[in-house]
Amino acid sequence: MSVTQKTKNLNLSEEDLALINSKIGIKYLFADKKPDFEKVVRMARYETELKELQAELIKLQEWTAKNNKKIVILFEGRDAAGKGGAIRRITAHINPRQFRIIALPKPSKEEEGQWYFQRYVNQLPQPGEIVFFDRSWYNRAVVEPVNNFCTQAQYETFMGQVNDFERMLLESDTYLIKFYFSITKEEQARRFKDIKTSPLKRWKMTNVDEKAQELWDEYTKYKLKMFEHTNTKISPWIIIEADKKTKARVEAIRHVLDKIPYDK
């Protein structure tokens, strides 16, 4: 029996059937012994759209390099919100020599004595480069105070300086995009369970992650303070509803393509 015959009783359009019969659709069709045709269509549509958007990202990067532009994109959000997965999809096909992904470890003793922003300034893009921060200076706005990694005075100093820091960054001819990936408490718990039971993902679980559910309300309190103080007209937050990973990735790429005035 053909795929078309199997699906004739489902509420699928001709476009859906064409997707199922495409190379991408067939890949998802045979991924499960009992395929869910609606899921096959959804995933095929996602992958097709993703490839089109990734082609546009190549154009954006070429424009960035040709015009010596500087782009900074921040990815913030709770643990397991999908920040890293979104970055991987964005950078999958662009030139690795013209972008960097920054995920800084715990500050060294020397860095602890420096101006807080200094370690991030050292990672800012050169002309023609895009830099993706997988967590950024906003660690001090949420993660650090929630987990007592900074003092109240350090937190207040950061909150008093961050808007001026970003204004100076923008005035130095740098594009700045701030993403916050938002997930529900239930979805975070589900993802943590998946990580813990997977031998390939267990390494992702940190001590901070282990306490994330317990400290959920504290994270919420500091997150709202961060939005209230740093969601400025010149440097607004873009909130990505990230319970659906595929939808979140596509939405993030669309925002990047929309915010940067490259040659479309």
Tell me the per-residue pLDDT of 160-169, one tens digit each, with 9 for 90 and over.
Answer: 999 999 999 9
Token pair of 83 as six digits: 């920040």
Going edge to edge, which strands form the sheet with 237-241?
99-102, 129-134, 70-77, 174-182, 237-241
Give the whole-angstrom CA distance, residue 41 versus residue 26: 10
Report the mean per-residue pLDDT for the chain: 92
DSSP state of 104: -
Tell me the per-residue pLDDT of 74-119, one tens digit each, with 9 for 90 and over.
Answer: 999 999 999 999 999 999 999 999 999 999 999 999 999 999 999 9
Burial label, 128 (beta-carbon count in 10 A; 0-12, 13-18, 19+): middle
On whether the CB atoms of residues 132 and 101 are closer than 8 A, the answer is: yes
On whether the CB atoms of residues 155 and 140 are closer than 8 A, the answer is: yes
Give the whole-angstrom CA distance, residue 44 versus residue 257: 22
DSSP state of 103: -
pTM comes to 0.89
Residue 41 pLDDT greater than 90, yes or no: no
Tell me the per-residue pLDDT of 201-248, one tens digit each, with 9 for 90 and over.
Answer: 999 999 999 999 999 999 999 999 999 999 999 999 999 999 999 999
Tell me if residue 175 falls in helix, strand or coil: strand
215 forms beta bridges with none
Give the whole-angstrom CA distance, residue 173 versus residue 191: 38
How far CA 12 is from CA of 8, 104, 144, in Å, comes to 8, 47, 49
Residue 263 pLDDT greater than 70, yes or no: yes
Cβ-based neighbours of 192, under 8 Å, separated by 6 or more: 79, 80, 205, 209, 212, 213
Question: What are the structural domains, with CATH classification, of the chain?
Answer: 56-259 (3.40.50.300)
Give the start-end residues of each E strand in 115-252: 129-134, 174-182, 237-241
Tell me the per-residue pLDDT of 7-29, one tens digit each, with 9 for 90 and over.
Answer: 555 567 777 677 666 776 677 66
- Can you give the pLDDT at residue 30? 66
Q: How confident is the model at residue 51 (pLDDT cuts 50, 70, 90)?
A: very high
